[in-house]
Structure 1
Amino acid sequence: MSNSKEPKVTGIGGIFFFSDNVQETKDWYSKNLGFNTDQWGATFASRNINKPDEVNYLQWSPFQSDTKYFEPSKKEFMINYRVQNLDALLVKLKENNVEILGEVQSYDYGRFVHIIDPEGNKIELWEPIDDELVK
Structure 2
Amino acid sequence: MPVTGIGGFFFRSRDTKALADWYLTHLGVGAPENVWIWNQQAGPTVFAPFKEDSDYFAADHRWMLNLRVEGLDDLIASLKAAGIEVITKPEWDATPEIGRFARIHDPEGNPIELWEPASPPA
Task: Specify the TM-score bucket, using the shorter chain as the normaliser.
Answer: 0.5 to 0.7
TM-score by length of 2: 0.57
Structure number with greater CO (CA < 8 Å, separation at least 6) is 1
Code of the residue aligned with 2:54 in structure 1: it is T
SS at match of 1:77: coil
Instruction: Give the unaligned 5+ runs of structure 2.
Output: 1-25, 30-40
Contact conserved, 1:114 with 1:122, CA < 8 A, in 2? yes
- Shift >6 Å, 4+ stretches: none
The CA deviation at 1:109 is 2.3
1:109 corresponds in structure 2 to 98
CA contact under 8 A between 1:9 and 1:84: conserved in structure 2?
no
Aligned twin of 2:71 = 85
Equivalent pair of 2:67/2:112 in contact (CA under 8 Å): yes
Q: Which residue in the other structure is 2:61 paired with?
A: 75
TM-score, length-scaled by structure 1: 0.52
Contiguous gaps of at least 5 residues in structure 1: 1-6, 11-47, 50-55
CA RMSD of aligned residues (A): 2.9
SS at match of 1:123: strand
